[in-house]
């Protein structure tokens, strides 16, 4: 498997965007996957991802087929 490298602050930016739009795009999903596979993320970041995934499961956040949301 190829190594996954996250940009600093990428998880916080992803969480903020999804919280604001209530939608997860394809790019967001790849970011979530990369973050989950990154073993070096902090417990705080992992907790944020867990809350995001719970919101997805409960239907509070929609899954979009768009590549990204550009304003």
- Residue ranges per domain, the chain? 10-64
Each of the 71 residues of the chain gets a pLDDT tens digit; together they read: 667 677 778 899 999 999 999 999 999 999 999 999 888 889 999 999 999 999 999 999 999 998 877 65
Element housing 13 (H / E): helix 10-21
- Using a 10 angstrom Cβ sphere, with 0-12 exposed, 13-18 middle and 19 or more buried, the burial of residue 28 is buried
| pTM reported for the whole predicted model | 0.80
How many whole angstroms separate alpha carbon 19 and alpha carbon 24?
Answer: 9
């Amino acid at each position: 498997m190829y190594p996954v490298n996250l940009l600093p602050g990428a998880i916080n930016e992803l969480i903020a965007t999804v919280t604001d739009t209530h939608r997860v795009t394809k790019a967001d999903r790849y970011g979530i996957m990369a973050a989950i596979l990154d073993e070096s993320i902090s417990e705080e970041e992992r907790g944020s991802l867990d809350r995001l995934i719970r919101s997805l499961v409960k239907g509070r956040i929609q899954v979009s087929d768009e590549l990204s949301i550009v304003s």
